[in-house]
Amino acid sequence: MIDQLALRSGVPRQTENAWFAVRHLYAPVDQPTRVYLIVATDEEQEFELGIGDTFPVRDDTWTFDRIEKPATGDDQYVVLRKVEPTAAEG
């Protein structure tokens, strides 16, 4: 089961129950980072997220965890992480 995804802008990835794609990453030096994300399950949803924001994917909750930049190259990766339910949620 996939619990974390690293996405490059414009390159979709599939999990067991959804497709994820970064439409745009906005990461200026002097402003908060924003990602524009598309998630496709039975229907397509678009999200505008800041780091730490959560969003639903079927019965799961995911979060925009961080941005990673490899040591070489110009690509930045948006890292999404599946949020585990708390004991109160079951």
Whether 59 is covered by a domain: the verdict is yes
Three-state SS sequence of the chain: CCCEEEECECCCEECCCCEEEEEEEECCCCCCCEEEEEEECCCEEEEEEECCCEEEECCEEEEEEEEECCCCCCCCEEEEEEECCCCCCC
pTM for this predicted structure: 0.86
In this prediction, residue 2 carries a pLDDT of 87
Per-residue pLDDT of the chain (90 residues; tens, 9 = 90+): 789 999 999 999 999 999 999 999 988 888 899 999 999 999 999 999 999 999 999 999 999 999 998 766 678 899 999 998 875 555
Q: What is the number of domains present in the chain?
A: 1
In this prediction, residue 72 carries a pLDDT of 66
Whether 73 is covered by a domain: the verdict is yes
Please report, for the domain that includes residue 20, its CATH number. 2.60.98.40
Whether 79 is covered by a domain: the verdict is yes
